[in-house]
Amino acid sequence: MTSTPPLDDEDAERLRACVADGGVAVFPTDTVYGVCCDVDDAEAAQRLYRLKGRPAARPAAVMFFALEHALQALPELSAFERGALEAMLPGPVTVLLENRSARFLDACRTDPATVGLRVPWLPESLHALCAIAEPVMQSSANISGQADARTLADVPASLREGADLVLDGGTLPGTPSTVVDLRDYEQSGAWHVLREGALATTAVGALLEAAR
């Protein structure tokens, strides 16, 4: 049995160029396989949703491959919010934030007041992707409502064949990200786990407590 070689700088550039050219790509993350496109390309987003069979009103995450790029792109964040993000990210979480500057509306869909932020913790085998500075619109590489993909073979054939680029990252952990709602965090310090996934709720609480 041969192991999958790590992604390299050429792979990262292929992904960046595919997204910049309006393409849809299947790629590995720190949790499950994802599918992505340009976060500001409505036509590419429509293709992504069609390939997944995802309901048009359901939002997608905005993924940055490095935390510094995310923080630079969101200057409206308070020091309190930045501290919370720095405590949890990069990591296997999707963070819901108040979208004060109305950014990334194609990903927000019917809830423009909320943006879902994702910054994966990429292992050494995927670390080349950290060179990508631009954000992508991202969702899991599955048919909506079906099982998440731990291996490339688990990604539905229709999605792989419909994508413009497919990157193989080998076998992934297979548990999706934990969804943490921080929309009330600035005002009251309140947070909520809407979906427990790869990071336990108790771990979320410990990280946020340490950041205070």
Dihedral angle, C-alpha 171, 173, 174, 179, nearest 10 °: -140
182-212 pLDDT, tens digit per residue, is 999 999 999 999 999 999 999 999 999 999 8
Query: Stretch 144-173: mean pLDDT, rounded?
Result: 97
pLDDT (average), residues 92-121: 97
Mean pLDDT (the chain, rounded): 96
CA-CA distance, 133 to 15, in Å (whole number)? Answer: 12
Percent of the chain with pLDDT over 70: 99
Peptide bond into 90 cis (omega under 30): yes
The pLDDT of residue 3 is 82
| Model confidence pLDDT, tens digit, residues 9-45 | 999 999 999 999 999 999 999 999 999 999 999 999 9
Burial class (CB in 10 A: 0-12, 13-18, 19+), 51: buried
CATH of domain 9-211: 3.90.870.10
Structure confidence at residue 49 as a pLDDT band (50, 70, 90): very high
Q: How many Cα atoms within 13 Å fall on the side-chain side of residue 125?
A: 14
76-106 confidence digits (pLDDT tens): 999 999 999 999 999 999 999 999 999 999 9
Q: Residue 27's pLDDT is what?
A: 98
